[in-house]
């Protein structure tokens, strides 16, 4: 699951990388949500990443990678 | 809701203004023009959505008083450029990155998390002892650090053009 902002370029790069890797993934543009939906998405982001920053990539509900850490994302998804 | 499209023309104009302002004030933009233009699209989008240019890489609340610290240029830019060579979005960068000598990379978030974020402090007492009494209050621009002694902060920071509400009482 990729939590992202529609205006953020690091989020964009992360999404492009996942697409390039041919990974099946869901994503949510949290800035496009409103009210309770946005709050609940933020709660999920903060469970994995207390700073609540974007992008936050949650892999198989097991671990999270915060930010466009290309090498780390590649390695985590190659495993 | 019908929202007007952000045109390439508006983005190009925004890019030219931002670049000229940055360079006039001793800052540098990321040399990757496409990356910068995408960020400008985000800034214009946020201006449309919220009425101010909230950081495109952070979630704005939509309440201006809670978002003052992330109105671009944000309160964290200078410290991030100093420590990491770039601001959080990589819109503004240091000389080494601007001239292509160093690569740009994502940096950690300096803004406090939601739970620790206080209201923007209007008045902060820096010291209570050994502080001389000045005939006028001293105001500090939270964006660039400019200080001035006058009854009220200036309407616009003469150095970085940040608005009056970005000033804090320093002394």
Query: What residues in B contact A31, CB-CB < 8 Å?
Result: 59-60
Test the A interface: residue of B34, B57, B59, B63 with most A CBs within 10 Å = B59
Q: Give the span between the Cα atoms of B141 and B158, in whole angstroms.
A: 10
Q: Which residues of chain B have pLDDT under 50?
A: none
pLDDT attached to residue B118: 73
- Which sequence spans correspond to the domains of chain B? 8-116, 122-171
Looking at the DSSP assignment, which residues form a beta bridge with residue B7?
none
Q: Which two tokens stand for residue A60?
A: 């198989």
What CATH number matches the domain at B8-116, 1.10.599.10, 3.40.980.10, 3.90.460.10, 3.20.20.70?
3.90.460.10
Pick the closest to residue B91 from B81, B79, B99 (CA basis).
Answer: B81
The predicted-structure confidence for B118-137, as pLDDT tens digits, reads as follows 755 555 555 666 777 889 99
Q: Give the span between the Cα atoms of B20 and B77, in whole angstroms.
A: 18
| Nearest-10 crossing angle of helices B33-50, B8-24 | 100
Pairing of strands B167-169, B147-149: unpaired
pLDDT attached to residue B121: 55
What is the interface size between A and B, counted as CB pairs within 8 Å?
59
The whole-angstrom distance between B158's CA and the closest CA on chain A is 29
Of B56, B109, B113, the CB nearest to A7: B56
Q: Residue A28: which domain range?
A: 2-78
Distances in Å between the Cα of B146 and the Cα atoms of A56, A59, B82, B136, B166 are 35, 44, 17, 16, 11
Q: Give the span between the Cα atoms of B148 and B136, in whole angstroms.
A: 9
Pairing of strands A56-59, B138-141: unpaired
Domain at A37, CATH number: 3.40.30.10
Query: What residues in A contact B108, CB-CB < 8 Å?
Result: 51, 67
* Total tally of structural domains belonging to chain A: 1
pLDDT attached to residue B124: 57
3-state helix, strand, coil in chain A (%, to 5): 50, 20, 35
Query: What residues in B contact A30, CB-CB < 8 Å?
Result: 59
- Residue A78: pLDDT band (50, 70, 90) is confident
Q: Which DSSP letter does residue B9 get?
A: H
pLDDT attached to residue A79: 67
Of A11, A51, A69, the CB nearest to B109: A51
Cα B93 from chain centre: 13
Test the A interface: residue of B40, B55, B57 with most A CBs within 10 Å = B57
Q: Give the span between the Cα atoms of B158 and B139, in whole angstroms.
A: 13
Contact yes or no for A31 and B59 at CB 8 A: yes
**Helix (H) or strand (E) segment spanning residue B15:** helix B8-24
Test the B interface: residue of A5, A6, A7, A29 with most B CBs within 10 Å = A7
Of B46, B57, B113, the CB nearest to A54: B57
Q: Which two tokens stand for residue A44?
A: 């999920």
> What's the average model confidence in pLDDT over A23-29?
95
Q: B-contacting residues of A 26-55, CB under 8 Å?
A: 30-31, 38, 42, 46, 50-54
pLDDT attached to residue B159: 87
Q: By the 8 A CB rule, do A21 and A76 touch?
A: no
Beta strands in B16-169 (DSSP E): 28-29, 92-93, 138-141, 147-149, 167-169
Name the fold adopted by B122-171: Rubrerythrin, domain 2 (2.20.28)
Same fold for the domain at B8-116 and the one at B122-171? no
DSSP A6-40: TT-HHHHHHHHHHHHTT----EEEGGG--HHHHHH
């Amino acid at each position: 699951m990729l939590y992202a902002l529609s205006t953020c370029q690091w989020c964009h790069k992360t999404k492009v990388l996942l697409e390039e890797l041919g990974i099946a993934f869901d994503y949510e543009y949290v800035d496009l949500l409103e009210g309770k939906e946005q709050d609940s998405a933020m709660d999920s982001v903060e469970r994995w990443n207390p700073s609540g920053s974007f992008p936050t990539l949650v892999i198989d509900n097991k671990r999270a990678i915060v930010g466009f850490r290309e090498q780390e994302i590649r390695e985590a998804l190659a495993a | 809701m019908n929202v007007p499209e952000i045109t390439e023309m508006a983005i190009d104009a925004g890019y030219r203004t931002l670049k000229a302002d940055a360079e006039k004030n001793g800052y540098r933009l990321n040399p990757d023009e496409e990356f910068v233009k995408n960020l400008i699209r985000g800034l214009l989008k946020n201006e449309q959505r919220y009425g101010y240019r909230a950081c495109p890489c952070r979630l704005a609340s939509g309440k201006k008083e809670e978002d003052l610290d992330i109105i671009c240029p944000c309160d964290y830019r200078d410290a991030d450029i100093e420590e990491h060579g770039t601001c959080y979005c990589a819109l503004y960068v240091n000389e080494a990155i601007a001239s292509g000598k160093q690569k740009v990379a994502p940096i950690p978030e300096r803004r406090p998390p939601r739970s620790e974020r206080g209201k923007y402090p209007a008045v902060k007492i820096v010291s209570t002892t050994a502080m001389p009494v000045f005939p006028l209050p001293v105001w500090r621009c939270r964006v660039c650090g400019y200080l001035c002694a006058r009854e009220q902060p200036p309407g616009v920071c003469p150095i970085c053009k940040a608005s009056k509400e970005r000033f804090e009482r320093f002394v």
